[in-house]
Amino acid sequence: MARLIVIGNGMAGHRLVDTLTRADTDRAWQVTVIGEEPRPAYDRVALSSYFDGASEDDLLLGDLSGRADQRLAERVTAIDRERRTVTTDTGTTLAYDALVLATGSTPFIPPVPGADLPGCHPYRTIEDLEAITASAEGATTGAVIGGGLLGLEAANALRLLGLDTHVVELAPHLMPAQVDQGAGALLARMVADLGVTAHTGTATSAVTAGPHGRASGLDLGETTLPADVVVFSAGIRPRDDLARRAGLDLGPRGGAAVDDACRTSDPHIYAVGECASHNGTVYGLVAPANAMADTAADRLLGGTAAFTGADTSTKLKLMGVDVASFGDAHGRGEQGALDVVVNDAASRRYAKLVVSDDATRLLGGVLVGDASAYGTLRALVGRELPGDPLELISPASSGAGAGPAALPDDAQICSCNAVTKGDIAAAIHDGACDVPDLKKATCAGTSCGSCVPMLKTLLADAGVEQSKALCEHFAHSRADLMEIVRATGITTFSDLIARHGTGRGCDVCKPAVASILASLGNGHILAGEQAGLQDTNDHFLANMQRNGTYSVVPRIPGGEITPERLIVIGEVAREFGLYTKITGAQRIDLLGARVEQLPAVWARLVDAGFESGHAYGKALRTVKSCVGSTWCRYGVQDSVTMAIDLELRYRGLRSPHKLKGAVSGCARECAEARGKDFGVIATDKGWNLYVGGNGGFTPRHAELLASDLDSATLVRYLDRFLMYYIRTADRLQRTAAWIESLDGGLERLREVVVDDALGIAADLEADMAAHIDGYADEWRGVLEDPDKLARFVSFANAPDTPDPTISFDTVRDQPVPSAPVPLGMPEPATAATAVEA
């Protein structure tokens, strides 16, 4: 087995190892990765999300355990090309048959006096972010030197830390590498609206020190700009020190010179990513790094892949502002190139196309404010335009004239993963029928996600229509049925299916309609005909476990509980012989109750002031919280009170799928709010609202919907968000998938919830108010109704007889099921597997 050493455990190195080891089915290579940082590879592109509440674990890339030997917190100090060995700072010498340099780049720190003062930081690693966060404590003003892409990301980070933020850029406008002066001017106005002041055409001559020896300001020549925290984001330099010392050829601007195979001047050494120079160019974007890594991996396996350059197009959202640049955005590559510009300052929209001198070919372009046409326009670069270029960017058309039908099969749809329109078409031909299928088949849309709208369009253009029918008994979608029930006032399933469906219904439509009726306040879910519509858990208001017993989960809003109530839970568990477990959602689960015991258990709990926690229902489960400003020295708001208020407000709210929320008292995010359907994170100015997160089979982080909200506005937006989800989502569709399915995604949701684009905000709020007014505890509703109580028996002809098939063993002083697992059922990992999944 040949030995491969990869120096550098960043995004490029990770991509190469991941690609190589997946394709190396014969195990031809034994791979060792050596990285200086103390953690595995993480997503440096998403680094700024750290300040939005993302944790270090959230940023980590895929696990390479078992596929490569990862040596972390270790630095290679020398390469011996003759002996083919590398030596590290631990004194270890490792031999290689092939070597890959993936050492990335270092931030450029301008040689200005004071750049090394305390309070001055680069913006490159997680350690840098932690240092910036520490410096921001007690600071009031921050400044970023460098107004490029990373500079604006850094500025947003300082803004989120609560600092009065400034950006100083030497060029006459922001993002000079990506956009032109007109776009840069609009961008400056838009970030100013968000509280960030841009100083363009301005040079920093020194960082000044305050009385305590820390940074206190920037000397800008004629003026001094106060700054307690200074972040340098003035560009990058390839890390080519190892290549230099090893005697490898370098590019004209640094970086190990590589050929189309990504091989250096030493045939046994490759270089990929920001440390490599290809034809004199050092690329600083993820797409070229991925392409180089894929090329090198293919060559190591005997392939013929070639890297001949890369598309440097990019689409970003900086502080909520859409910015896109594609192709030759500055018109430098072709003599006589023409600019076609739409500059609508009032609508905060700028669009420019660079076309050939005869206006027939698209060379490049810039979009600011509205980048919806990016996917199609980028794919048209270098090709004949399908019509008048002005019509492609005019507000009326929004790029509609350049649809996917105009693109040839070799047009690249996903630049991050080099996926063409032909690749997408082939996947659709092979049976891909939705965006997740396309992602799985082609990897398109799995990196930055900017091509996802194009994937949806290609599916539609291919004639792939997603059936909206709920099931064979209803031709309508769940959202359509919701509107039918709301408009007609229908209150029973039998009436609904008689008037708008066929047959008698099934296990798909009955629970779905039951949920709709419950969402609209149609009484207790076990009242009358509704009882027969419920699935097993809802039918008994408890979660069935593998041995036929049930779990009982009382509501504990915000995780706060008095000692007296805690004692009651212990007494109930002891009296009924129940297994007790504290769940990950800050609740206590009582497992092992037989059907006939459930009412007696509930009675004890209800008498103590508890109510149903709806662990069994497609409804709000919990709103988790940290201890917030009441106890925590980092807390900036009272997260416990907010969590309790929200849980009590939305308790019993029936929805298309289960709902979970959380409130964190500061950006350290101890309540894990960004992993919930709705998450609230405290700021110095109020609350940030995140939506669309979830765990489960496909974990997803929630995205920022609105920031720095006062409590009343936060609740108003949440009311609208939840009711809009309940009205329009499909059956069993989590909020994450629902937002992705919306035409326009999060931006469309923001238009509806924040801007009231549909004019339904008042209606949504009224629906929520009606739910709150009509809430009643479902457990109490059973206890107060003899007819409902009669359902809770193991045997109809012997109501007092317990089920003899249920037995328990004792493990760690608690009862656990001893009944055998039914044939064909998988063995659960623990006795409490099905608690609140």
- Residues 390-423 have pLDDT tens digits of 877 776 444 444 556 667 777 777 777 778 888 8
pLDDT mean across residues, the chain: 85
Residue 223 pLDDT > 60: yes
What is the separation of C-alpha 171 from the centre of its chain, rounded to a whole number of angstroms?
33
Question: How confident is the model at residue 589, as a pLDDT?
Answer: 92
Q: Is 141 exposed, middle or buried (0-12, 13-18, 19+ CB in 10 A)?
A: middle
The conformation of residue 330, written as its DSSP 8-state character, comes to T
Residue with the larger pLDDT of the pair 685 and 57: 685
Residue 796 pLDDT > 70: no
**pLDDT interval class at 51 (50, 70, 90):** confident
Q: How far from 713 is each of 300, 361, 522, CA to CA, in Å? A: 57, 48, 29
Q: How far from 24 is each of 101, 302, 303, 464, CA to CA, in Å? A: 20, 11, 12, 35
Lowest average pLDDT, out of 293-297, 401-405, 565-569, goes to 401-405
Tell me the percentage of the chain whose pLDDT exceeds 90. 40
Residues linked to residue 144 through DSSP beta bridges, in sequence order: 167, 231
Question: How confident is the model at residue 569, as a pLDDT?
Answer: 94
Counting Cα atoms < 13 Å in the Cβ hemisphere of 257 gives 11
Question: How confident is the model at residue 87, as a pLDDT?
Answer: 95
Question: How confident is the model at residue 360, as a pLDDT?
Answer: 84
Q: How far apart are CA 278 and CA 335, in angstroms?
A: 24
Q: How far apart are CA 174 and CA 200, in angstroms?
A: 7
Cα-Cα-Cα-Cα dihedral of 398, 402, 404, 409, to 10°? -150
Lowest average pLDDT, out of 21-30, 330-339, 497-506, 600-609, goes to 330-339
Question: How confident is the model at residue 797, as a pLDDT?
Answer: 58
Question: How confident is the model at residue 836, as a pLDDT?
Answer: 36
Question: How confident is the model at residue 565, as a pLDDT?
Answer: 93
Please name the residues in contact with 766: beta carbons below 8 A apart, sequence gap of 6 or more. Answer: none
Structural contact between residues 273 and 284, judged by C-beta atoms closer than 8 angstroms: no
The conformation of residue 370, written as its DSSP 8-state character, comes to -
Q: How far apart are CA 211 and CA 213, in angstroms?
A: 6
Q: What phi and psi, each to the nearest 5 degrees, are found at residue 487?
A: -75, -35
CA nearest neighbour of 541 among 478, 601, 467, 500:
601
Residue 826 pLDDT > 50: no
Residue 532 pLDDT > 90: no
Across the range 52-65, mean pLDDT stands at: 76
Question: How confident is the model at residue 824, as a pLDDT?
Answer: 40
Question: How confident is the model at residue 398, as a pLDDT?
Answer: 43
Residue with the larger pLDDT of the pair 50 and 534: 534
Residue with the larger pLDDT of the pair 414 and 466: 414
Question: How confident is the model at residue 259, as a pLDDT?
Answer: 93
Strand 29-34: give its sheet, edge to edge. Answer: 69-71, 29-34, 2-7, 98-101, 269-271
Structural contact between residues 117 and 190, judged by C-beta atoms closer than 8 angstroms: no
pLDDT tens digit sequence for 655-674 = 999 999 999 999 889 999 99
List strand residue ranges (DSSP E) for 565-724, in order. Answer: 579-582, 588-593, 620-625, 659-664, 678-683, 686-691, 703-709
Across the range 255-266, mean pLDDT stands at: 94
Question: How confident is the model at residue 837, as a pLDDT?
Answer: 32
The conformation of residue 64, written as its DSSP 8-state character, comes to -
Across the range 638-655, mean pLDDT stands at: 95
Across the range 550-557, mean pLDDT stands at: 91
Structural contact between residues 636 and 683, judged by C-beta atoms closer than 8 angstroms: yes
Residues linked to residue 326 through DSSP beta bridges, in sequence order: 365
Lowest average pLDDT, out of 99-108, 257-266, 373-382, 715-724, goes to 373-382
Q: What phi and psi, each to the nearest 5 degrees, are found at residue 566?
A: -65, -40
CA nearest neighbour of 3 among 31, 35, 22:
31
**pLDDT interval class at 689 (50, 70, 90):** very high
Per DSSP, helices labelled H in 489-624 are 493-500, 509-519, 536-540, 563-576, 598-607
Residue 828 pLDDT > 60: no
At CA 769, angle to CA 764 and CA 772, rounded to 5? 130
Per DSSP, helices labelled H in 356-470 are 374-379, 389-393, 421-429, 435-442, 452-461
Please name the residues in contact with 39: beta carbons below 8 A apart, sequence gap of 6 or more. Answer: 56, 60, 72, 126
Residue 646 pLDDT > 60: yes
Counting Cα atoms < 13 Å in the Cβ hemisphere of 435 gives 17
pLDDT tens digit sequence for 136-147 = 888 889 999 988
Residue 562 pLDDT > 80: yes
